[in-house]
Structure 1
Amino acid sequence: MDSATHLAPHRARWWHRLDDGRLQCDLCPRDCKLGEGQRGACFVRQNLGGGMVLTTYGRSSGFCVDPIEKKPLNHFLPGSRVLSFGTAGCNLMCKFCQNWDISKARDMDRLTDRASPDGIAGAAAASGCRSVAFTYNDPVIFAEYAMDVADACHERGLRTVAVTAGYMHAGPRRAFYAKMDAANVDLKAFTEGFYARLSAAHLQPVLDTLQYLRHETDTWLEITTLLIPGQNDSSEELAALSAWIARELGPDVPLHFTAFHPDYKMTDLPRTPTSTLTRAREIARAAGLRYVYTGNVHDATGGTTHCPGCQAALIVRDWYRIERNRLTAAGRCPDCGTKIPGHFETTALPFGNRRIPVTIPPDD
C-alpha cells in the first residue's frame, strides 16, 4: 500500500449499540451517539458498517525527537530525548488551542506518515530515545493505536508518555493508563464555567482522572495549566487549584504554569506576562506544592528543580535546556540527601532544546 488513505479501518473499543440502532461511543464523557457513517465530536471515531472504527489508526501528522522537558515533564528522565507524535482531531473544543492545525484537523488525507506500532518503537530506539510520547493532539481519541505502540515500546525497554487533557471515562482510563509510564495532564482551569465556555467540556472528569492517576496507578504524573490573561489567572482561582492539588494529590506532584500566546479563536488576547507566571508559582508554593515550574518563557528560577529540604538548586533549566544537573543517580540531593520524587537517571549529554523530524520506515 502506497497511501495512508488505503489503510483498512481499525475496529474501535468502548462502544455499544442503542435501541434505535445508533452506536454510542463510551470512550469519553461526550457519549457521542452516531448513525451510520457519522463521526464523533473528535472526528476520528466513526460508525462504519454497523461498528465503531478508529479512522486514524496507523496514521500520523508527523514524528519528531524532542527533549522530554517539552512535554513538559521535569521529573521523568530529565535531559533525555523522546519520540513525539500525534494524529488528528480532539475530543475537546478549546478556543485557545495551541496545536489547532492538528487537533482541529478534519482532513484525514493530511495524515501522510504511516507507521506500525513496531515501526515507531524501532525508530525511537534507533534515534536514541528513552521514551515515546503521544502528544500534539490528545491520545485519548486514538487510544487503541497508542496502546499498541506502548506494547511495542515496552518490548524494547522504552517508556511511554501521554500528554492529555484527561477527558476520559473510567473503563477506558484503566485500560489506557495501564500502558503509560508517565502522563502530563492539562488542567485547563479550576472552574466549570471555563471548561464549558472555552473547551465545551466539564471539569470533574479531569479531576477524576488526576485522582485516579495519583492514587490508583504507578504512572508518573505531572500537571500543566496554561494561564490565559483574564480567563483563568486570578489569584483566587490559582489558590483554589493549588490547594486542591496539595490536598487531593499531594505536595510532590509537579505543576507547570505555562504562558499563553494568541492563537486559533483567541487572537484578541495578549500573551501571558512572565509576572503572571511568577505570581502563580508563588501562590502554588504557598499552598504547599514543592515542585512548581513556569514554562514557555526564559525563567531560570521557575525552571529549576530545588531541593525541598535545603533549597539547593538541583536541576537548573533555561526553557527546555538543562544547564546543570546535580541530582545523584538515585535521585537525591547531593547536599542533604533528600529524595526527589520522579524517575531519574544520569545523562552525560542532555539532549537540549532541539527538535529533529523523524521518518518512520514503511513496513516490509
Structure 2
Amino acid sequence: MVYGKVITGHIDPIEKKPVVHYMPGSKIFSIATTGCNWLCHPAGAEILLSNGNKKPVEELLPGDSLWSYDIDNGMNIHPNVVTRTGSRLARIWDLRYGARGAGHLFLTAEHPVMTDSGWKSVERVAPGEKILKAWYQNTKDWKRKRPGSIQRAVFNCTKCGESVKGIDNWNRHRGRCYTEGMGMSPEVREHHRQRMISDNPMKDPDVARRAIGSSKERFLRDPNHDWHRNTVSLRTWLHRHPSEGQKRLYALLDQMGLEYDQEYRIQPENRLPDSRVTHIADAAFPDSKLDVEVDGWWHYKHQRTRERDLVRDQTLRANGWQVLRISGRQVYDHPEEVKALIVQHLVAPLMLNKRTWVDVSSVKPTEQLRIVYSFECIPNHNYVGDGIILHNCGYCQNFDISQRRKVEGTDLMPPDVVSLALSHGCQGIAYTYNQPTIFMEFARDIGVEARKNGLINIFVSNGFDTPDTVAMMDDFLDCITVDFKGSAETNFVRKHIGIPDAQPIFQTIQEIKNRGKTHIEITDLIVPEIGDNLDEARKLSRWLYDNLGPDVPVHFLRFHPDYKLMHLPSTPVKTLEEHCRVAREEGLRYVYVGNVPGHPWEHTYCPECRNIAIKRYGFDITGWNLDEKNRCTNCGYQLPIFGQLSSSVSEDRFLPVVN
C-alpha cells in the first residue's frame, strides 16, 4: 500500500480518462502513486539466474540475467535481462505445495503463477491445482571444474617413467618423448599426405574450431615455442584480435552467464558469389546459429567493407544463421540494450533443466505486512522464483510511474489533495495512470474528503479488483472507466497480462453495476497483431450489451508502441472502425474511437435522428446540441448524459501540478 506520496498530479479534461457521459467538459485533478499491483517477493526469495545460480530478490540489479521460458514455443529456455528493481510495503500470502506441503512460496496476492489451467494470481489458486516447478540441472559442471583439476594432475609417462605435473607440461613431454627417434620414409609421408587430402579432419568445422582455438591458447602462453607452424597467421591474429569492442562484448556475455565461442569459424555450405570460404564470427552461439558482430567505424565509413559485410551476412543468412551487428559505441554506452538484443536473438535452448507439476496443498493470506521486492525483465515476462515459474506484465504506457518500485513522490495528505483540486477550479479528482486500488486506502480517504467539498471521484481501473475493494468504492466513487486490452481474449490476457482469463474483471463490472451507485464506461485497447480479433470484440460487445445495457459508452482505443511492446505498430484506424462497427451490430448505441483526434466517431450521435449531439476534437468539446435536460435539440431524444456542460470547457484544462 502507498499512502501520502503522490508521484504525479495533472489538471486535465474528464474526456481524457476517457469519460464522455458524465459531467462533460469538467476539469479534473488526476493523481497517482508509484507502484503496481504485480510482482513482489519478500526478502530471501531466490530467483534463478541464467547460469543456474540463485540470487536473493533483494540483491537483483539491472543487467542481471534470469532463467526464463518461451512458454508459447515448446518451453524453450532463454535468458531474461533485469531492467528495473524496487520495493514497497505489502501483505504476504503463503502458498504451500508438495506431498506434505513442505514447499513454500511467499508472494503478494496479485502475483501470477503458472498453473495447469494457465496463469493465475496467487489469491485465486485453489488447493488441489498444480503449479509448475523448475530447477537447474547443470550437466556441464565438470567442464568448469576440469581446467583447475587437470592443471594440478600428475601424469606418468609409460615410455620413460617420468612424472609430469599439469596438462600443458604433459603435452610437451609426450610430444617429445613419444616421437623421439621416429622417422618416415618418403613413401609413408606421401601416404599420410594423401590420406589427409582425402579425409582431412579439419574439414569438420568443430574440429577446426577446436584446433585453431588450442593453437591460439598455446600461442598466447608461449609464442616462441617451436610447435607453431602458422606463426605468421597467429601473430597477425594477435595484433588484430580481439578488438577492444570484442573484449567489451565478451565481458557482457560473461556477465549474462551465456556459453558462446569467441572468433568462431563458419564455413557455409552454400556460398553466394564473392563470398569467402570461411567467415569468422566475433561471438557465436553455434547451437542457435547466432553470429554477433561488433563493428568499428570502418564498417560504416568504408564502402568496400560495407559491401563485404553485406555479402557475408547474406551468405550466412542463406545458411540458416542470424547475424546481429552491434556498433562499438553501443557496447560501451548501452550495455543493457546490447544484452537485451542478444537475448531476443537467441532462438534455441541454451540451458538444460527439469520441470514437473506439483500439487498445491494450501493458499492463504498471512498477517505479515513486509517490505517486498520486485523487478522488471525483458524480453520475456516470466522467471523462476523459489523454484516456481512466475510472471510479470509487458505493456504499460505509464511504466515510468507504475514500474518505479521505490515509493517516492510529494508528501500530500487527503486534505492537501482536495485543496489543490479546489484551488485550481476542478470539479473532481481522478485516480489514474496506474491501478488505483494499489493505493485504495489513500484514494478512499481523499474521495471521502472530496465529496464533502462537492467534488466527484473517478477511477481509471483495470477492473481486477476484489469484492471487498468494490464495496469500499461505495464510500466515495462516482464514476469508473474499466480498461480492457485485446478485447479480453483469453490467450492475450494470459500471455500479456498474466492472468488465466478476464472473468474476475467481468465480475467486478457486474458487482459495480448491481450496486447501482457508480457510472461505468468501458475502454478496449486494440493491440495490432496480437490483440485485434474481431470475433473477440463481438463477444465482449455482446456481454456488455447483455449485462450493462445498450447505453454503456464503449471506447476502442488506438494502441501506440511503448515499454516492452515497442516492436508493434500503432493500431490502424481501419481496425478501430471495424471494431466499432461490430459493437454497433451487437446493439451498443454509444461507441467511440479513441486516441485518433479529428475522427468522426469521437462525436456523440443521437441514436434517434443520428445528428451530432456532442461534437469533439480530441479531448475538447467543440459543439453542444443538447437542451437543459440533455435532450437532442433536433428530435428531443433523451440521451443518457449525467450533468450539464461544465463552464470549465472553455478554460485551459491542461496543467501540471505535481511533478
User: TM-score band (shorter)?
Assistant: 0.7 to 0.9
Post-superposition shift, 1:352?
Answer: 6.8
User: Is the deviation greater in 286-295 or in 182-191?
Assistant: 182-191
Q: Is 1:150 aligned with 2:444? A: no
2:532 corresponds in structure 1 to 233
Q: Secondary structure at the match of 1:350?
A: helix
Q: Is 1:197 aligned with 2:143? A: no
In the TM superposition, 1:1-364 aligns within 5 A as: 54=1, 56-91=2-37, 93-108=392-407, 111-188=408-485, 189-201=487-499, 202-348=501-647, 350-351=649-650, 354-359=653-658
Post-superposition shift, 1:151?
Answer: 0.6
Post-superposition shift, 1:302?
Answer: 1.3
Larger RCO (CA under 8 A, 6+ residues apart): 2
Higher-Rg structure is 2
Q: Secondary structure at the match of 1:290?
A: coil
Alignment check: 8 A CA contact 2:537 2:583 kept: yes
For residues 141-186 of structure 1, the C-alpha deviation after alignment (integer angstroms, 9 at most, x for no partner) is: 1100000000110010000000000111112211124421000001
For residues 294-344 of structure 1, the C-alpha deviation after alignment (integer angstroms, 9 at most, x for no partner) is: 111124311100111111101111111111111222221112222211312
Post-superposition shift, 1:232?
Answer: 2.0
Alignment check: 8 A CA contact 2:488 2:540 kept: yes
Measure, in 1, the Cα distance between the counterparts of 2:628 and 2:425: 20
Of Structure 1 and Structure 2, which has the larger fraction of its residues in helix?
Answer: 2
Q: Secondary structure at the match of 1:187?
A: strand
Q: Secondary structure at the match of 1:322?
A: strand
Q: Secondary structure at the match of 2:649?
A: coil
Going from structure 1 to structure 2, the CA distance change for 1:125 and 1:222 (only over 3 Å counts) comes to: same
Alignment check: 8 A CA contact 1:133 1:162 kept: yes
Measure, in 1, the Cα distance between the counterparts of 2:651 and 2:481: 20
User: Is the deviation greater in 333-342 or in 246-255?
Assistant: 333-342
Alignment check: 8 A CA contact 1:167 1:205 kept: yes
Post-superposition shift, 1:353?
Answer: 7.4
Task: Please give the root-mean-square deviation of Cα atoms over the aligned residues, in Å.
Answer: 1.6
Post-superposition shift, 1:103?
Answer: 1.0
Post-superposition shift, 1:69?
Answer: 0.4
User: Is the deviation greater in 82-91 or in 340-349?
Assistant: 340-349
Identity of matched residues, %: 37
Letter in 2 for 1:89: G
Alignment check: 8 A CA contact 1:94 1:200 kept: yes
- Alignment length, in residue pairs? 304
Going from structure 1 to structure 2, the CA distance change for 1:359 and 1:241 (only over 3 Å counts) comes to: closer
Alignment check: 8 A CA contact 1:305 1:316 kept: yes
Alignment check: 8 A CA contact 1:178 1:217 kept: no
Going from structure 1 to structure 2, the CA distance change for 1:195 and 1:178 (only over 3 Å counts) comes to: farther
Going from structure 1 to structure 2, the CA distance change for 1:131 and 1:165 (only over 3 Å counts) comes to: same
Post-superposition shift, 1:275?
Answer: 1.0
2:146 corresponds in structure 1 to none
Alignment check: 8 A CA contact 1:67 1:353 kept: no
User: Is the deviation greater in 325-334 or in 81-90?
Assistant: 325-334
Unmatched 5+ residue regions in structure 1?
A: 1-53
User: Is the deviation greater in 127-136 or in 326-335?
Assistant: 326-335
Measure, in 2, the Cα distance between the counterparts of 1:208 and 1:297: 30
Post-superposition shift, 1:60?
Answer: 1.0
Letter in 1 for 2:35: G
Measure, in 1, the Cα distance between the counterparts of 2:646 and 2:519: 19
User: Is the deviation greater in 204-213 or in 332-341?
Assistant: 332-341
Post-superposition shift, 1:355?
Answer: 2.1
For residues 68-98 of structure 1, the C-alpha deviation after alignment (integer angstroms, 9 at most, x for no partner) is: 0000000111111000010012225541211
Letter in 1 for 2:561: P
Going from structure 1 to structure 2, the CA distance change for 1:352 and 1:261 (only over 3 Å counts) comes to: farther
Letter in 1 for 2:24: P
For residues 116-142 of structure 1, the C-alpha deviation after alignment (integer angstroms, 9 at most, x for no partner) is: 111111111111111100001111111
TM-score, length basis structure 2 = 0.45
Measure, in 1, the Cα distance between the counterparts of 2:411 and 2:420: 13
Post-superposition shift, 1:256?
Answer: 0.5
